[in-house]
Amino acid sequence: MYSGVVFDVLRGFSWAVTISFPIVGDFLSSGFTFLDRQLSQRAYSRKLEKEADELGMYLMAKAGYDPRAAIRLWEILNEAEKDIDQKGSYDMSRVGEEEKKERMIWDHVALLRTHPTGEERLEALKKRLPKAMEIWREAKKSRQVEEEVRIAKEVKAKRTEKSEKEVVVSATA
């Protein structure tokens, strides 16, 4: 019951303020629009980063590289990220106090990050690893067949070359 009363009071107050002072309404609208754009843009950026990681792992698997290496890489990067967090961030010796505070806020508030955390990236890659391993195994099989075909062609070419030399030798004898 009280929440409905409070909501009505706030709605009435905000209506009175924005009608009486249009500049306040414009300012609030601009502020909310700015926040919405910043937060949604950052969330979109994080999503693209995760997709890029996934695609990169699939491409490396298709190229014949073991996708488990991507997992190991992110484990190493996570350790480095944890070290940075424990030691109090990056080399901040040339950075002013205000910028230090700003960097710390942007790095530690999830909604303000432009990239997913290393832990999030690692977990996302681990979920995609079975599919990447399947792609890698198929790529290895394909490469083996290609290698066998190449070797067979080389053997055939050497036999042909050898038989041509025998024909030349027998013709001259």
Cβ contacts of 43 within 8 Å, gap of 6 or more: 111
pTM value > 0.85 = no
Q: What is the pLDDT of residue 125?
A: 93
* Tens of pLDDT, residue by residue, the chain (173 residues): 566 677 677 677 777 766 767 776 677 677 666 666 666 666 567 788 888 899 999 999 998 899 999 999 999 988 887 877 676 655 555 556 666 555 555 555 555 566 778 888 899 999 999 999 999 999 888 888 787 778 888 888 887 777 666 665 665 65
Q: What is the pLDDT of residue 123?
A: 93
Count other Cβ atoms within 10 Å, centred on residue 112: 12
Q: What is the pLDDT of residue 58?
A: 93
Q: What is the pLDDT of residue 172?
A: 63
Q: What is the pLDDT of residue 94?
A: 59
Q: What is the pLDDT of residue 45?
A: 75
Dihedral of the alpha carbons of 133, 136, 138, 143, in degrees to the nearest 10: -160
Q: What is the pLDDT of residue 96?
A: 64
Q: What's the one-letter identity of residue 107?
A: D
Q: Using CA atoms, how far apart are residues 136 and 142, in angstroms rounded to an integer?
A: 10
